[in-house]
Structure 1
């Protein structure tokens, strides 16, 4: 075997590499710029190199290796490297013969031929005296078929009569099928490359995906391309920031194209492109200048290429015949097509076939020709619809080329762009963007942002993105290129109320780095239900420390361990006022990090929500130490379900009495505080230094034992509580009456009091029937039979009578009263109707759901509504009202100027009265 002949053939320079066709494999190998591709196979948790994977497979029992990868992913170069290594005696020495067939060589084999003829007349022929040895020992032979799918050979064994005789002449398709299916030269090995296609679905063997360059391999390639390390770093950094988010940047061919054009621009001292459109403008200018044609010829060539691009895109046919090229307008300029098209065959032959060397350039030329066209043909909307699904980047290129700064270099070479076409595109873009941004489809929003990014026009961004759109929908689950586009738009706007990234399932370090400027410009960042890497948290922390963010929502986003430490590093010096960390897997150790933030002296944190975290008493004690610091600005602390007990209340009480705490609101819902814990709190609530105004103790295992302490607290002249919620605790009727006595004290500051027992509390924690209207005074008495451990404590008619009396007293400031789920019937609720009708009652909301009301109460109800000057909403769900009550209820709603809503759902109504209630408009049924 003459390995020298094989080596000479493979390393022979076949043609000058074009910018779009990529660097020839021989050049890559001879210049020592070869970087082995990666595969999708994992070896010891590391991505295996393609070279290693092929060699390992061929050293085992595997007889066929199928390499599957996109255009320009490096398959051909890897195979030629493999053959060269064999010819140099470095690898695969278990094979005595390696036969390499590229696409051109396969296409040149037209006539029927036998395997014996193929071996003896191939570019690296097997000597005739050795042919028999090869045929007798097929296990020593390796066939390499590159880009076999491009030849469109049918490899389905069922459509061929497979041969087994190496001397039998058959078609090339049958010959290769017979080899690959093992009927001919059984035992031989094969390496076949293909783009993702169904052509090789009939073959068995080891399939290896070739995804191209990883980020690290791309860096290695750039450093090998540029002799100057500084230039290599500059080029790589620029590509990563402007183009690296595109999938085709993994292509070695595309990397060579970028390196080549960057080097040309850097050598000329020109600016590097900021977008994909600008890159292709630079490429087209470079190619046209190399052709040295006149302006008219340049324009004719590009327009002809545009016609061909239109044909290929619409028909989804990647190649054209010479006859078709003539119909596109190439007759006089056919000799210039080599810079843009791949030519298969002799240019002088009518059998010659042409195809674009780059699908991206195909779409770019289609966009350029649209703006060069002076005919009154289809507008941009029809054009985009025509190529929908077949030209992914067409609208992006149109957007970039519509801007004068970007198309001016082309106008110098090609002549002026059609101004009517540019106006047509801009009109379409503005109207479609307006429609898109009104909707809630985030993928369409993203596309709009991509188009704006390609245009690189700040004033256009501000014109299209109106203030209403700036609030945004959730843009969670962004791709890297989505991040780039979104960040560009946000940066142009300069300031945003909300960056909504809700439910981002994979915020990587790379994505967060791109989004960091947008984060720093946003007053609120929504990242709840997201998954952040530690690196992403680092960029978020950095954006917070240098930005204007005042509110950050990280609810249900895991921040366990190191992530929270990294976040707190940015929280020590930022403008953040509100931080929500509900269900973030925080522990006692997290409180140590928070303590350092709260006492940093530069933290402006006012509201901290840590609900549903396992911080425990020890963790909360650390937070209480921070409250003693004069540097701590915390005013609201949410600690629902944080595994706290009565032990935590002593340090909290001490902090509240310290005189340094600014705490105004504490939520301790669903913690095991108990009566002892409340007693400790009551001492601090009576202290003159305590500034607490809101205390939430829902479902904290309280009993009537704590009510005397609470009564004493509410009677204290130093008590500053405005809101106290004791819902879902077994306080008992007597305990509730004690609290009512305290409320009656002149000067009692409490405006909202919650004493509800919610039947579904353990399943629906949010249903506490507590109005959140700021500044309103509220008392809630929904006491019912709760499930499991909650004790029935139902209010009686006596309590309703006391409430009615209190509301009529003229001293009550209550505006919201909820007494539902207490079956006192018409007689019990009548006390409330009388109170509502009294001129001294200020109630605006009344809830008497499920109190066993019947039609007998309607007369008193309507009289109360008519007499009240303040009542706005009335909740009457789940009672026993019938059709007979509806006319009177509808009439009183129509007559009342104050009433806004009456809820009559789930009463005993028939469909006969639905239309009557529907006409009223303010009744829910």
Structure 2
């Protein structure tokens, strides 16, 4: 008795001696067919056993056969950039096992996946394992069929029995299809390639001996009219044509390609030299675009072939970093391989190679326009390729495949969709430079405007327009490759193919300008995101600014981004050449959905500013995971309603983070979160040096808990802000005790109530040479500061001009000079507005002393910063411009909060004693400021509390 184990799991037991003779011939035939991988030159010395190179793929249960209309490259980017929540991997050899909790037998399975992701290899491996008696011993017969071969017989009629005998003559004498005791599996690979697409309304057929068209046979096989007891496994790209067949299947699965560990395993299997393999793995991981593409097994193979020679050298400076560069290296590798195979009778290898590559490119471009990925001899002939010379393409088996079929006719295809698109772009590029021909222009228009053929800008402009015509992104990668080829550094790699160069120095800037205009004009986020990719290909260093402008100008207000679109934006930001040192979420979005989509960008930044982005407890768990595994040194989460529950979740990641600065101002925290904060402060691995907890209701109980961490020998904290935290004299005694042993240098207790005794104790510690405390701030303290909520903001203050008071906090900085008590400012004003329009904010004194004139109106000069409240919306005002705030519900009561020394002016909507953050303005104040109000409409009014 023998056992077969896959990934530690017993799949079956079988008797080695008692093999069934009925399937022996079929198994022998399938072994011969699938034993080797069709990789590289089809010679015996280059044949690679499938089992020696096969790497397990990540296959997961799909989402009900969901069909995605976007470009397959974007689907790969989406998968690699989004975080999949605990998806279970399915073993390829266990597809027909009942799912947990389901007792019924699975008989029909469909597996989807983008081109090159490994569907066909999975089919081959499944079949080979069965033929080798390694798995699925319960199956008596397995019949793998390819739609590429079936297409060649689409005009003929067969019975199912006859069709089976054509492809598998080994079973001709066996009674298989009429005996329901036989456990049979039909595998149909490449449903998306079916020509024509299957029609579910085909005639009903149940007789396996009755002839009919092949598409009719297959539909009835799917619908269990033919051989209803048989198992059926179908693979397909996720295209719309499979939608009509979804009701026929019991299980939907999806091939996701390689995960990170599987990529490494593949490279080590493919490249025997361990040093070279490790260099390639390191380089791929360092280049995000390559790392993402290597989720596709075919791309891993291309990368291994292209880099094997390059990265075996010590110098890795010129290693490719973009997709275009990688494909050019892969092309160079293929050309060098071809040169070695060319017969000596060919006079000019260079001319021969150029002509053949142009023929391939023409085929690629024309068939891309038709949407065809698989070609036949008639397609080659239609594109000017001599069918009798088609065998010449065997020299290009790294990029172009020819496959024999049972009926003798061959099928052709590029090794991957992206290679197809690259060659289409290469053809358009070389046609322009070598032949002075713009193939993107229609003949009629080209004849009317002959000079347009000679304009490089027109070439790229037409390519952009062509890509924008397709909402599904059909020409997106073509456009990115075409623009990438235009770079001088990439043209060096094409010198053996370019006979002339018609590039003009100004063209690059012209097309960059044109793309930016299209970004601003396009209503589609998908179209804009691909244009961002194009700017990246052109190495445009204003890319980050352009993306931010797109968002700030209302790009998001026209159409909310989907998770997939956020994923692509994240990819664009991360693959940009601009260094992502400081990331400000508010420049792109103020939402948790946006944060989830940009978590990888947050992870890559050194400084992450998430201030006032409407974050709640819902995002804290994922954010905690990112923080714990990132290089973030400074994190600002101020003005978000995190509450204690959210902060406790965050602290799990903070314990193991690289954070040195953490700001949690106005996050609705209480003493309940102080135990978790104390653990972070005293963490052995922690690096936290600055902690801002301003405006949270910790009270003395919370300070006591926090001081447990401050007194730990592992605490590295140097700056602590507890302003407006309702701390009294009792809390000061806890702080004094902690100061005896902690590393704190600065402590801010402004707007609390330490009392005379508490303040005296703290100042004694400040003067103590044994204590490290150097600076103590205790401004604007008093008994009213211990009131809960907004009441702690109230103060007697001094009333002046329009009777409003504002906060002026001094954190060790020199306060502004005051000439009298009338210039003194406290901290908050609440303004109630009736229907109409009112503006409020802060201004330098000079704006109200210059007399009448347009420049002194509120918001019309550079000395005023404020908020305009009008019907249904808010607007930020400064220098005569108004910036709308689209993501905030309007309120009739607004609070204005000024922190002069910190350079912030915050606005809050106030309701039932609770405040909701509207916006914070960051301002480098140079002199004292005063409140200023303006009524613009009749019947507008302002009430000051």
TM range, normalised to the smaller chain? 0.5 to 0.7
Q: Does 1:318 align with 2:376?
A: no
Higher helix fraction (1 or 2): 1
Which of 233, 236, 253 is the matching residue for 2:278? 233
For residues 338-349 of structure 1, the aligned pairs below 5 Å read 338=394, 339=396, 340-343=399-402
Contact 2:664 2:692 (C-alpha < 8 Å) held by counterparts: yes
Match for residue 463 of structure 2?
Answer: 383
Which of 37, 61, 65 is the matching residue for 1:40? 61
Return the offset for 1:500: 6.0
Q: Secondary structure of the residue that 1:262 maps to in structure 2? A: helix
Q: Does 1:96 align with 2:136?
A: no
Q: Secondary structure of the residue that 2:126 maps to in structure 1? A: helix
1: CA distance between counterparts of 2:550 and 2:808? 27
Q: Secondary structure of the residue that 1:288 maps to in structure 2? A: helix
Match for residue 666 of structure 1?
Answer: 749
Choose 660-669 or 5-14, whichever is displaced more. Answer: 660-669
Contact 1:138 1:185 (C-alpha < 8 Å) held by counterparts: no
For residues 636-647 of structure 1, the aligned pairs below 5 Å read 636-640=721-725, 647=730
Contact 2:681 2:688 (C-alpha < 8 Å) held by counterparts: no
Which of 84, 91, 95 is the matching residue for 1:49? 91
Match for residue 321 of structure 2?
Answer: 274
Deviations 1:427-456 (A, max 9, x none): 21155448869999998997676446545x
2: CA distance between counterparts of 1:283 and 1:550? 42
Match for residue 112 of structure 2?
Answer: 68
Q: Secondary structure of the residue that 2:139 maps to in structure 1? A: coil
Return the offset for 1:279: 0.9
Q: Secondary structure of the residue that 1:39 maps to in structure 2? A: strand
Match for residue 195 of structure 1?
Answer: 237
2: CA distance between counterparts of 1:680 and 1:170? 99
Match for residue 118 of structure 1?
Answer: 163
Which of 132, 135, 158 is the matching residue for 2:201? 158
Q: 1:647 to 1:814 in 2, by over 3 A?
A: closer
Contact 2:61 2:90 (C-alpha < 8 Å) held by counterparts: yes
Return the offset for 1:103: 3.0
Match for residue 781 of structure 1?
Answer: none
CA RMSD of aligned residues (A): 5.9
Q: Secondary structure of the residue that 1:48 maps to in structure 2? A: coil
Q: 1:815 to 1:304 in 2, by over 3 A?
A: same
Match for residue 918 of structure 1?
Answer: none
Q: 1:60 to 1:315 in 2, by over 3 A?
A: same
Deviations 1:186-218 (A, max 9, x none): 322222222223444332332222222222222
Contact 2:655 2:679 (C-alpha < 8 Å) held by counterparts: yes
Contact 2:93 2:136 (C-alpha < 8 Å) held by counterparts: no
Match for residue 651 of structure 2?
Answer: 564
Q: Does 1:536 align with 2:615?
A: no
2: CA distance between counterparts of 1:754 and 1:63? 82
Which of 208, 214, 218 is the matching residue for 1:176? 218
Which of 171, 189, 193 is the matching residue for 1:146? 189
For residues 491-506 of structure 1, the aligned pairs below 5 Å read none
Which of 429, 437, 442 is the matching residue for 2:512? 429
Deviations 1:513-543 (A, max 9, x none): 8876x634x6977696365455532354x45
Uncovered stretches (5+) of structure 1, i.e. residues with no partner: 704-724, 737-751, 759-767, 779-806, 823-841, 847-864, 866-870, 879-897, 911-925
Match for residue 678 of structure 2?
Answer: 592
Deviations 1:292-345 (A, max 9, x none): 363333333333444333333434343556566456453597554453444477
Aligned length: 740
Choose 216-225 or 478-487, whichever is displaced more. Answer: 478-487
Q: 1:554 to 1:321 in 2, by over 3 A?
A: farther
Contact 1:653 1:683 (C-alpha < 8 Å) held by counterparts: no
Which of 277, 292, 303 is the matching residue for 2:358? 303
Return the offset for 1:679: 6.7
2: CA distance between counterparts of 1:318 and 1:818? 67
Contact 1:552 1:580 (C-alpha < 8 Å) held by counterparts: yes
Q: 1:425 to 1:592 in 2, by over 3 A?
A: same
For residues 278-297 of structure 1, the aligned pairs below 5 Å read 278-292=325-339, 294-297=349-352
1: CA distance between counterparts of 2:864 and 2:486? 56
Q: Secondary structure of the residue that 2:605 maps to in structure 1? A: helix
1: CA distance between counterparts of 2:370 and 2:185? 38
Q: Does 1:330 align with 2:385?
A: yes
Q: Secondary structure of the residue that 2:26 maps to in structure 1? A: helix
Match for residue 287 of structure 2?
Answer: 242
Which of 12, 24, 31 is the matching residue for 1:11? 31
Deviations 1:58-85 (A, max 9, x none): 9962222222222222222222333333
Contact 1:112 1:172 (C-alpha < 8 Å) held by counterparts: yes
2: CA distance between counterparts of 1:514 and 1:20? 42
Q: 1:584 to 1:318 in 2, by over 3 A?
A: farther
Q: 1:154 to 1:569 in 2, by over 3 A?
A: closer
1: CA distance between counterparts of 2:196 and 2:522? 47
Q: Does 1:218 align with 2:263?
A: yes
2: CA distance between counterparts of 1:211 and 1:659? 51
Contact 2:421 2:478 (C-alpha < 8 Å) held by counterparts: yes
Which of 424, 432, 444 is the matching residue for 1:366? 424
Match for residue 853 of structure 2?
Answer: none
1: CA distance between counterparts of 2:401 and 2:666? 58
Match for residue 259 of structure 1?
Answer: 304
Match for residue 106 of structure 1?
Answer: 150
Choose 363-372 or 505-514, whichever is displaced more. Answer: 505-514
Contact 1:598 1:631 (C-alpha < 8 Å) held by counterparts: no
2: CA distance between counterparts of 1:62 and 1:95? 14
Which of 681, 695, 704 is the matching residue for 2:780? 695
Q: 1:104 to 1:10 in 2, by over 3 A?
A: farther
Q: Secondary structure of the residue that 1:263 maps to in structure 2? A: helix
Which of 344, 348, 357 is the matching residue for 2:415? 357
Q: 1:634 to 1:353 in 2, by over 3 A?
A: closer
Contact 1:114 1:166 (C-alpha < 8 Å) held by counterparts: yes
Match for residue 770 of structure 1?
Answer: 806
Deviations 1:758-794 (A, max 9, x none): 9xxxxxxxxx96356995799xxxxxxxxxxxxxxxx
Return the offset for 1:27: 4.1
Q: Does 1:185 align with 2:206?
A: no
Deviations 1:683-703 (A, max 9, x none): 669989695352366965669
2: CA distance between counterparts of 1:599 and 1:81? 47
Contact 2:60 2:254 (C-alpha < 8 Å) held by counterparts: yes
Q: 1:485 to 1:598 in 2, by over 3 A?
A: same
Q: Secondary structure of the residue that 2:495 maps to in structure 1? A: helix
Contact 1:119 1:125 (C-alpha < 8 Å) held by counterparts: no
Higher strand fraction (1 or 2): 2
Q: Secondary structure of the residue that 2:157 maps to in structure 1? A: coil
Contact 1:580 1:610 (C-alpha < 8 Å) held by counterparts: yes
2: CA distance between counterparts of 1:81 and 1:679? 80
2: CA distance between counterparts of 1:661 and 1:595? 12
Contact 1:67 1:210 (C-alpha < 8 Å) held by counterparts: yes
2: CA distance between counterparts of 1:876 and 1:105? 69
Match for residue 722 of structure 1?
Answer: none
Which of 646, 667, 675 is the matching residue for 1:582? 667
Contact 2:149 2:405 (C-alpha < 8 Å) held by counterparts: no
Match for residue 502 of structure 2?
Answer: 418
Question: TM (normalized to structure 1)?
Answer: 0.64
Contact 2:401 2:413 (C-alpha < 8 Å) held by counterparts: yes
